[in-house]
Amino acid sequence: YVKKHGPLSPANALNVVLQVARALEAAQAQQLLHRDIKPGNIMAVTNRVGSIDVKLIDFGLAKAPASESPDGAALTQRHDFVGSPAFASPEQCQMKPLDTRSDLYSLGVTLWYLLSGKLPFTGTVGEIMIAQVVTPPPFDQLAQIPESVVALLRRMLAKNRDERFQTPEELQLAVEATLTRLASDSDVTSVRFAARAATAPAPVVTESASEPEPIKPVAKAAEVSASSGLDAYLAVDVGTLTANRYRLIREEREGHGGRFFYADDQKALPEEPTEVGLKLIHPSIASDPSLLDLIENEIEMMRQATHPHLVRYRHLDRSVPGPWLVREWLHGFLLFELLRWCRSLNASELLMLLEPLPATLDFVSSQGFRLVDVSLQKIFLACPRDVPTEHFRDLARASATGWTNLRLRLNPLSLALLLQRDPPDRGHQTLVPVRRGLAQTAGELGGQARKAIRLFARLIYELLSGHAPAEKGGQTAYTPLPELNQAANSILQRACAGVEAMAMWRSCESFWNAFKDAIVAGSAVPLSQGYGATGLPGMPAPSFAAPTAPPPLPRPLPQAPIKRESIPDPLRQVTTKKPWVNSLGMTFIPVPGTKVLFSIWNVRVRDFETFVAETGYDATAGMFSMGRNDWQQRGANWRKPGFTQGPDHPVVGISWEDAGVFCRWVTSREQAAGRLPGGVCYRLPTDREWSIAVGLDEAAGGAPREKSGKLKEYPWGRHWPPPKGVGNYFGEEAKIGEEPSDWEPIKRFNDGWPRTSPVGSFPANRLGLFDMGGNVWEWCEDWYDFDRTHRVLRGASWTNRNPVSMLSSFRYHGKPDYRAASRGFRCVLAHR
């Protein structure tokens, strides 16, 4: 279309992007990547009412490439590269692991093409791929495009994916806001697609083509114009007095189905608050009187069945330029924003935050509300009024103890569910799937309780993992969460599946109580605070990690029997001279300044072998190993990491998630044997505990990232290079052995071990702990920083030769599922 008729207007181009972003939201919910977003895979059709419906086609992989694509738009598959170079993201061109942000970059290139009729980069395939990685887009070519649209493009086309929009939902909100600004900044009175008259062909996509091919001419003129309702909808602006009562103060970013405003009720009664929330309903809903009647009936039902944890609605105001939904104003933020800021929650945060929700969902189910969306976008956290809006992000990222004054409120009315219906005049537009709605028709009301349990369980999974559970063939593909113990994972898995939910639990509250009991009774996971990441020279960048979710445990972990006799608490009996030795032979001693017992060495190969033999859990996929001059996935794993390991060598190739599962297993094993009381568990050390154990005097508080490398101390002192016999680092011995390295070692240093050394091969520190510097990086419990994407690693390893990375205060970091031949862990014994 663009080749024949020229670029689209900014408003039209943004409307295309908005609909594609909704399709990508649906794909993300299924954990799918498109990998080939481009104009040739976007089809626009005109429906009966003259609106444009956009379809995203060829999901997963495009079909055969078109030989006549001089601009590099043809699909290329070379080694691990899949996609069209002209639209590929930088990480796609570098053949790195991809996520949804790659599709959002490709959509940005598509927007560029729709606006200009040109591509930002041209040339040979190789030249284009290099430009995607290193060359800034030529934004000077978009001088005629409104700055608000260019600003959107700048973020979509950021080379660093962390600087782009992180989710399709976030992009949708930005596009909607940009469309609003376009409407207010100009005298645009209509939004049109320029189309041919009676002789103009309409686009259709054939299976073998990379671009739309023409079909027969349509029977009549096809100039497509939005209705006057859309013009009025876009024209509404801050400052407007609507319904002769409500003054619009500011527009807020909130969900689908309309535009939401903070407003002042200038005719409020003395007992009524003057602050209200007004939602201007989208014309696609407002134009259907039957839908407005349905909304009005829902509001009346809500008014008659109030609940303290539901958002309160006043009425539906049908005055022009409405209609408007009028509801109470809440000061706070959505659960969606909390998860975006925190990435995921731990078990203690979840239990505290969601406590009111199960009873609220049971109430909603009993009332038969039909437009309830159980999702992050519909659960609000109301804050005290003395918390400024600009502090919401800091509040969310701070300790969960600061959340005690937040009040959870469920918005029981979702207009998105009406947008997602498929009436005859909407064709088959790709939109967000109706997967979270509690009920859409009266015929579904009988199954509301079961559906509520399943939706509630999926919400819990999303909060704990940072993403919604995947679905395969209509069934939930559940991956056990390291944050939960075996019993809690089993309960959550059954609830997510929904099949057995009603047989086991009659309500959300009964499911919630069972889930809580399983966590409190059996979890070995500490109620930790967390933090997240960047790269380190000479080591594989954590962002390259292939997703390797922990496999399900095929055999249940041993559960501790209930014993009447008292089991001695090792934390109150152990001394340095009388250490605690567990059933695996792991030795633990106290560390002054902490409340835990530290293992004197790393978890050994023999310890992990016992764990794998007893549980069937194995960590064998996606491990990075070192070659002569690089780090790659070569099929290595903890059993065969690319070099010889004995039973007493530290186990390597272990992710943070793997380490957590091991800790829970050994806790259950010891409790079942009567060696540990119920209130004691094995876990990873916190970042602060590790600092104390290595002998650093650091201030408490703050993220680990903020302290990294600040104290210039090594395990052996303050001088460089390291003296002989202080630990296993990357010395001259690395140039020999099974896999000699081409990297430059530490000069005049040789520790005698080309790769790992058996635990205890070097002298212990003054507290009696071995290998607190060198041998393997050690996972810690904490997040690296407030982005909460990466976990902390401490202590350096046999691969390190850089003076900075070998400082005791240096923090390395990695994604929780990342495995490498330089990473292991040690356990501590602690009270829950």
pLDDT of residue 221 exceeding 70, the answer is no
- Identical fold between 236-329 and 344-417+434-523: no
Residue of 642, 655, 659, 638 lying closest to 547 (CA atoms): 655
pLDDT of residue 73: 39
Residue 781 to residue 685: CA distance in whole angstroms: 6
pLDDT of residue 497: 82
Section 87-101 average pLDDT: 87
Higher model confidence: residue 234 or residue 798? Answer: 798
pLDDT of residue 51: 55
Do 413 and 313 form a contact (C-beta atoms < 8 A)? yes
pLDDT of residue 185: 58
Higher model confidence: residue 478 or residue 195? Answer: 478
pLDDT of residue 420 exceeding 80, the answer is no
pLDDT of residue 650: 98
pLDDT of residue 198: 30
Section 267-294 average pLDDT: 88
The packing angle between helices 508-522 and 448-465, to 10°, is 40
Do 257 and 419 form a contact (C-beta atoms < 8 A)? yes
Position 762, amino acid: F
pLDDT in tens, 354-387: 999 999 999 998 888 888 888 888 999 999 988 9
Q: Is the preceding omega at residue 10 within 30 degrees of 0, hence cis?
A: no
pLDDT of residue 750: 94
517, containing H or E segment? helix 508-522
Predicted confidence band at 656 (pLDDT cuts at 50, 70, 90)?
very high
pLDDT of residue 33: 84
Position 642, amino acid: G
Question: Options 3.20.140.10, 1.10.540.10, 1.10.150.120, 1.10.510.10; which CATH number does 2-225 get?
Answer: 1.10.510.10
Do 769 and 691 form a contact (C-beta atoms < 8 A)? no
Question: To the nearest whole percent, how much of the chain has pLDDT over 90?
Answer: 41
Residue of 611, 559, 561 lying closest to 584 (CA atoms): 611
Predicted confidence band at 737 (pLDDT cuts at 50, 70, 90)?
low
Section 400-408 average pLDDT: 82
Residue 221 to residue 12: CA distance in whole angstroms: 19
Q: Could you tell me the pTM of the whole model? A: 0.49
pLDDT of residue 438: 59
pLDDT in tens, 774-808: 999 999 999 888 767 789 999 999 999 999 999 99
- The CA-based diameter of the chain, rounded to the nearest angstrom, is 94
Q: Which ranges in 186-273 belong to alpha helices (H)? A: 228-235
Residue 302 to residue 324: CA distance in whole angstroms: 17
pLDDT of residue 210: 28
Section 18-39 average pLDDT: 84
How many C-beta atoms lie closer than 10 Å to residue 780's C-beta? Answer: 28
Sign of CA dihedral 407, 408, 411, 416: positive
Q: How far apart are the first and last CA of the chain?
A: 63
Question: 398: which 2 tokens?
Answer: 């701070």
pLDDT in tens, 300-323: 999 888 899 999 999 999 988 889
Select the highest-mean-pLDDT range: 282-296, 619-633, 716-730.
Answer: 716-730
pLDDT of residue 695: 96
Do 710 and 685 form a contact (C-beta atoms < 8 A)? no
pLDDT of residue 202: 31
Q: Mind spelling out the 3-state secondary structure of 88-155?
A: CCHHHHCCCCCCHHHHHHHHHHHHHHHHHCCCCCCCCHHHHHHHHHHCCCCHHHHCCCCHHHHHHHHH
pLDDT of residue 222: 29
In total, the chain counts a number of residues equal to 832
Domain 236-329: CATH superfamily, name plus number: Phosphorylase Kinase; domain 1 (3.30.200.20)
**Alpha carbon separation from 785 to 687, 708, 814 (Å, rounded):** 11, 11, 11
pLDDT of residue 27: 78
Q: Which ranges in 357-504 belong to alpha helices (H)? A: 357-367, 392-397, 416-419, 448-465, 486-497, 501-504
Bridge partners of 468, per DSSP, are none
pLDDT of residue 525: 34
Question: Options 2.60.40, 1.10.10, 2.30.30, 1.10.510; which CATH number does 344-417+434-523 get?
Answer: 1.10.510
pLDDT of residue 536 exceeding 80, the answer is no
pLDDT in tens, 745-783: 999 999 999 999 999 999 999 999 999 999 999 999 998
Residue 832 to residue 828: CA distance in whole angstroms: 12
pLDDT of residue 184: 58
Residue 249 to residue 264: CA distance in whole angstroms: 7
pLDDT of residue 233: 80
- Comparing 54-63, 483-492, 566-575, the range with the smallest average pLDDT is 54-63
Sign of CA dihedral 203, 204, 209, 211: positive
- Comparing 36-45, 548-557, 613-622, 698-707, the range with the smallest average pLDDT is 548-557
The packing angle between helices 10-29 and 100-116, to 10°, is 160
Question: 214: which 2 tokens?
Answer: 């023409």
**Alpha carbon separation from 296 to 182, 315, 439, 444, 696 (Å, rounded):** 31, 7, 17, 20, 64
Residue 1 to residue 46: CA distance in whole angstroms: 13
Question: To the nearest whole percent, how much of the chain has pLDDT over 70?
Answer: 78
Residue of 222, 90, 245, 215 lying closest to 156 (CA atoms): 90
Residue 448 to residue 197: CA distance in whole angstroms: 50
Position 767, amino acid: L
- Determine the Cα angle at 788 with ends 783 and 791, to 5°: 35
Higher model confidence: residue 702 or residue 533? Answer: 702
Do 197 and 222 form a contact (C-beta atoms < 8 A)? yes
pLDDT of residue 561: 42
Residue of 622, 619, 602, 627 lying closest to 539 (CA atoms): 627
Question: 193: which 2 tokens?
Answer: 């697609």
pLDDT of residue 47: 54
- Comparing 48-62, 438-452, 609-623, 665-679, the range with the smallest average pLDDT is 438-452
pLDDT of residue 813 exceeding 70, the answer is yes
pLDDT of residue 785: 80
Section 649-671 average pLDDT: 92
Predicted confidence band at 527 (pLDDT cuts at 50, 70, 90)?
very low
Predicted confidence band at 480 (pLDDT cuts at 50, 70, 90)?
confident
Higher model confidence: residue 420 or residue 832? Answer: 832
- Comparing 211-215, 497-501, 681-685, the range with the smallest average pLDDT is 211-215
Residue 56 to residue 618: CA distance in whole angstroms: 39
Position 295, amino acid: I
Position 788, amino acid: R
pLDDT of residue 432: 31
How many C-beta atoms lie closer than 10 Å to residue 564's C-beta? Answer: 4
pLDDT of residue 327 exceeding 90, the answer is yes
Predicted confidence band at 823 (pLDDT cuts at 50, 70, 90)?
very high
Section 147-171 average pLDDT: 91
pLDDT of residue 558: 43
pLDDT of residue 687: 95
Residue 361 to residue 380: CA distance in whole angstroms: 14
Residue 643 to residue 639: CA distance in whole angstroms: 10
What mean pLDDT is reported for the chain? 79
pLDDT of residue 116 exceeding 60, the answer is yes
pLDDT of residue 194: 32
pLDDT of residue 507 exceeding 70, the answer is yes
Sign of CA dihedral 368, 374, 377, 383: positive
CA trace torsion 195, 199, 200, 206 (10° rounding): 140
Secondary structure of residue 327 in the 3-state scheme: strand
Sign of CA dihedral 409, 412, 413, 419: positive
Do 751 and 733 form a contact (C-beta atoms < 8 A)? yes
Residue 716 to residue 482: CA distance in whole angstroms: 35
pLDDT of residue 647: 96
CA trace torsion 19, 20, 21, 24 (10° rounding): 130
Q: Which ranges in 208-356 belong to alpha helices (H)? A: 228-235, 283-286, 289-304, 335-342, 347-354
Question: 52: which 2 tokens?
Answer: 């444009």
The β-bridge relationship of strands 246-252 and 241-242 is: antiparallel
For the chain, the structural domain boundaries read 2-225, 236-329, 344-417+434-523
| CB-based contacts of 540, cutoff 8 Å, min separation 6 | 624, 631, 632, 820
Residue 607 to residue 181: CA distance in whole angstroms: 61
Rg over alpha carbons for the chain, rounded to the nearest Å, is 29
Higher model confidence: residue 342 or residue 139? Answer: 139
- Determine the Cα angle at 202 with ends 200 and 208, to 5°: 130
pLDDT of residue 502: 57
pLDDT of residue 143 exceeding 70, the answer is yes
Looking up tokens 């409790």 gives: 671
pLDDT in tens, 481-506: 877 888 898 899 889 887 665 568 88
